Amino acid sequence: MADFLGMMKQAAQLQSKMQAMQAELDSIEVEGSAGGGMVSVRLTAKGDLKGVKVDDSLMKPEEKEILEDLLVTAHADARRKAEAVMQEKMKALTGGLPLPPGMNLT
């Protein structure tokens, strides 16, 4: 019975740490860029879009398609960085233990 109570206590502690980590991920921002920095996108570590910057030279009708592609690329770059931050935080929280497949924390 003592083992079960110990496991329950550990689970409660882990849940508390997970909640704190989720709050921290909301406050961490990453930036992705494309086109040599002509387009940048800021996301929280949880993937929420916070801002977009576009170089004035791309604000021409004939550059519309290029701008659209650069926005997608910059977003993907920022998303990869956000996922890396989340993985790092989870590794620190779980002591390096891998999470079961399909366990999503966001």
Residue ranges of domains in the chain: 27-93
Task: Write the burial class of residue 45 (CB in 10 Å: 0-12 exposed, 13-18 middle, 19+ buried).
Answer: buried
Q: What is the CATH number of domain 27-93?
A: 3.30.1310.10
Cβ-contact 50, 44 below 8 angstroms? yes
Sorting pLDDT into bands at 50, 70 and 90, what band is 8?
confident
pTM here?
A: 0.67
Query: What CA–CA distances, in Å, run from 59 to 69, 78, 90?
Result: 13, 22, 40
Lowest mean pLDDT across 62-66, 77-81, 102-106:
102-106
For residue 106, how many C-alpha atoms fall within 13 Å in the half-sphere facing its CB?
13
Q: Is it the case that residue 1 has pLDDT exceeding 80?
A: no
**pLDDT for 27-46, tens place per residue?**
899 999 999 999 999 999 88
Computed over every residue of the chain, the mean pLDDT equals 85
Cβ-contact 89, 20 below 8 angstroms? no
